[in-house]
Structure 1
Amino acid sequence: MKKNLLLTALFSSIALISCKKKEVEQAKPIGNYKVVQLSETNSTLTAEYPTVLEGIVDVEIRAKVDGYIEKILVDEGQEVKKGQVLFKLETQTATQDAAAAKARVDAALVEVNRLKPLVDRNIISPVQLETAKANLANARSTYQSIIARINYATIKSPVNGIIGSIPHRIGSYVSSQTAEPLTRVSDISTMYAYFSINEKEQLNLLEQAEGTSFQSKIAKLPAVNLILSNGETFETKGKIETFSGQANTQTGSFNVRASFKNTNKILRSGNTGKVQIPTQVSHVIIIPQKATLELQDKRLALVVGPNNKVKMVPIKVREVPGGQFFVVDEGLTIKDKLIIEGVGILTEDTEIKPVIVDYNEILNPKQ
């Protein structure tokens, strides 16, 4: 009898708990989640890539001979012309050596001139004259070497450009082996912007370009923008010129070079920024990447199903360069309402309260 009473009480407790649980579940509020009504669109999507700028020519200026810096004839940031003197090294010792070498040349020449008539009259052997001529050639070679050393002590700019930093000062001893160059001269009339894109982005970019060959496709790639470090857009658009010959085996990325005309010399070597590449798409459904899930090698999107319940849909997409959007090839239509909020926490058949968001605002978010 007691046993039956205990079982009755236990079942009553379980039933009561189940009822309470159902009441709690029924009382749980339905969450508000943002959704968009999908539609086809024509759009220009922009991908951004960090970049470092370099002048079209960026030359290290180094001493070709050993010596102390006697004069610095330019300043950092100064614009210089090709052939302009930048530095002068001390040449006093070399000048003295040159004078002595010139004297030896003169003496050797006198000796040759003295021996010539004697050989002509068969007074001495021609071997003596040839020896004298060899001595003259050697003396001239030594003299020319010293003169070249003196000339190298006057260091000139090999290109038009802008002077970089000058780490050495007057009195510093420098040579061709000195670790730091005397300075750098950068031709910044055109700037190169170097950046990297991954293999998928490279293929998508080239597939969308017109042309039948690799080079013809590069030639027809759209113009690109340069966003400066202060957030401003550079006044002149640039052009993608080259891709590296092969992908980096460690990162799987390609190095890309774009060029920008720098007419006003605003840009300098070492500046940083972002290169923006526009991607034109027509009559396609575009969705944010963050509105999708990847599960067991499948890409899923969450849409609003019957009775406002979550429905997971497998989709096939193409990545738009920049990592923000997908172009949908299969799985979604313009009839679908895509859930763009709570994607990581919502589960199949969860009832939600859809909050419609403008589709264009998703594609073109305000900065």
Structure 2
Amino acid sequence: MKAKSYLVLGLGYMALLVGCQSQTPQQGGQTDYPLLTLKPENRQLSVKYSAVIEGKQDVEVRPQVSGTITEVCVKEGARVSKGQVLFVIDQVPYLAALKQAEASVATAEANEATAKLTLEGKESLYKDKVISDFELRTARNNYQSAQASLMQAQAELVNARNNLSYTEIKSPVDGYAGMTSYRIGALVTSGMTEPLIRVSDNSQMYVYFSMTEKQVLSLTAQYGSLDSALLSFPPIQLELNDGSVYQHTGKIDVISGLIDKTAGTVSLRAVFDNQEKRLMSGGSANVIIPYERQQCLVIPQGGTYEIQNRIFAYKVVDGKAESTPIEVFEINDGKEYIVEDRLQAGDVIVSEGAGLLKDGAIVAASAVKPNTEEE
């Protein structure tokens, strides 16, 4: 009897379960999704370009005379001033050359003075018809030769003084000294290819980057000339290699008038202040140029899905989701797209969860909300 009772009770539970299942609503009915009515709006956007950072002045310091280094007056990495002595080359042979040049000038001056006195005496004698015209001409030639010898000696003196001054190798600019491998006793020459040291003026930094020929032509067409385009650029930012954004904005000050035939690009230069010395010559970064897109249609990326590198959105037509391929411009924030084609103002789209929908799914029209972003 107990076995029959259990059997009847089990059959009753099964019947109850089947009855409940039969009363569950069928899937595929109307589902609430957040919807968005598209309207034109203005957006402030930005574009990035890879860039190289260089000091305003990176000067290679080389010797102008040959000799051994007797003093190293600069500390690597130190701040240096224009005209500050960095190295001293052995001055002894150049001092001797200077003394020799001074002696040569003294001798030439004496010879020139003697030739002048001789000429004056010959001229007096010629007037009295004591000497011939030949002797007078000879005296004049000797005087001119003495003058030329004096000028040559004076030039050699200037050269000797310059060579002596070149033994003190000075900084040509204000800036910071780089590294050097030259020490006291090292032999240097005026023809050496490797600089003794580099001095960089990093108070301002030049940042070089490139645009495509098409982009520059577009700027020229928009503003009428490269000069007008240059004046129209807003202040720009610099994204450093660690991902941080440099605290000072910069200004584009040069657009090259030449196109790189190999890359098909045009070089541009921006200037950034570097009072904190955060930027270093030779570094890499990204230039961030802001610009505005007016009266564009913006949709969230959550309202799209991608198949084989094509992007689709669901447009709501008569309460149903209709899959629509769209052309988009990707905004750098990774959250939104600007629609370039296939959607227009007034269209209603599913703004989230597009990857979970199927074409033809019924969506709730009551969920429609206009785009309330400020223009």
TM-score clears 0.5 = yes
Correspondence 1:143 to 2:153: no
Give yes or no for contact 2:102–2:157 (8 Å, CA) kept in 1: yes
Query: CA shift at 1:260, angstroms?
Result: 0.8
Cα distance change of structure 1 residues 178 and 324 upon mapping to structure 2, 3 Å threshold: farther
CA deviations on 1:104-162 (whole Å, 9 max, x unpaired) are 22222222223322221117742222222222222222222122111122222222212
Query: CA shift at 1:56, angstroms?
Result: 1.8
* Alpha-carbon distance between aligned partners in 2 of 1:115 and 1:139, rounded to the nearest angstrom: 16
Give yes or no for contact 2:50–2:285 (8 Å, CA) kept in 1: yes
Q: Quick one: which amino acid aligns to residue 149 of structure 1?
A: N
Query: CA shift at 1:192, angstroms?
Result: 0.9
* Alpha-carbon distance between aligned partners in 1 of 2:338 and 2:169, rounded to the nearest angstrom: 57
Length, aligned pairs only: 316
Give yes or no for contact 1:49–1:322 (8 Å, CA) kept in 2: no
* Alpha-carbon distance between aligned partners in 2 of 1:70 and 1:35, rounded to the nearest angstrom: 80
* Alpha-carbon distance between aligned partners in 2 of 1:35 and 1:263, rounded to the nearest angstrom: 50
Structure 1 residue corresponding to 2:195, chosen from 181, 192, 195: 181
Match of 2:98 in 1: 98
* Alpha-carbon distance between aligned partners in 1 of 2:202 and 2:77, rounded to the nearest angstrom: 12
What secondary structure is seen at the aligned counterpart in 1 of 2:106?
A: helix
In structure 1, list runs of 5 or more residues that go unmatched: 1-33, 361-367
Structure 2 residue corresponding to 1:332, chosen from 343, 347, 357: 343
Correspondence 1:228 to 2:245: no
Correspondence 1:278 to 2:290: yes
Correspondence 1:194 to 2:208: yes
Cα distance change of structure 1 residues 340 and 95 upon mapping to structure 2, 3 Å threshold: farther
Describe how 1:73-152 pairs up with structure 2 within 5 A. 73-122=73-122, 125-126=138-139, 127-152=141-166
TM-score w.r.t. the length of structure 1 is 0.70
Identity %: 31
* Alpha-carbon distance between aligned partners in 2 of 1:201 and 1:84, rounded to the nearest angstrom: 46
TM-score w.r.t. the length of structure 2 is 0.69
Match of 1:47 in 2: 47
Aligned-residue CA RMSD (Å):
4.1
* Alpha-carbon distance between aligned partners in 2 of 1:167 and 1:88, rounded to the nearest angstrom: 15
CA deviations on 1:292-343 (whole Å, 9 max, x unpaired) are 9899xxx95422367977735364x66879999864333123423479988x
* Alpha-carbon distance between aligned partners in 2 of 1:293 and 1:250, rounded to the nearest angstrom: 35
Query: CA shift at 1:203, angstroms?
Result: 5.3
Give yes or no for contact 1:60–1:184 (8 Å, CA) kept in 2: yes
Give yes or no for contact 2:326–2:340 (8 Å, CA) kept in 1: no
Give yes or no for contact 1:300–1:312 (8 Å, CA) kept in 2: no
Cα distance change of structure 1 residues 93 and 36 upon mapping to structure 2, 3 Å threshold: farther
Correspondence 1:153 to 2:164: no
Give yes or no for contact 2:310–2:325 (8 Å, CA) kept in 1: yes
What secondary structure is seen at the aligned counterpart in 2 of 1:230?
A: coil
Query: CA shift at 1:193, angstroms?
Result: 0.9
Give yes or no for contact 1:65–1:152 (8 Å, CA) kept in 2: yes
* Alpha-carbon distance between aligned partners in 1 of 2:80 and 2:196, rounded to the nearest angstrom: 15
Q: Quick one: which amino acid aligns to residue 172 of structure 2?
A: P
Pair member with larger Rg: 2
Give yes or no for contact 2:35–2:348 (8 Å, CA) kept in 1: no
Give yes or no for contact 1:303–1:339 (8 Å, CA) kept in 2: no
Q: Quick one: which amino acid aligns to residue 46 of structure 1?
A: S
Cα distance change of structure 1 residues 204 and 107 upon mapping to structure 2, 3 Å threshold: closer
Match of 1:58 in 2: 58
Match of 1:168 in 2: 182
Give yes or no for contact 2:58–2:199 (8 Å, CA) kept in 1: yes
Query: CA shift at 1:247, angstroms?
Result: 3.1
Give yes or no for contact 1:302–1:310 (8 Å, CA) kept in 2: no
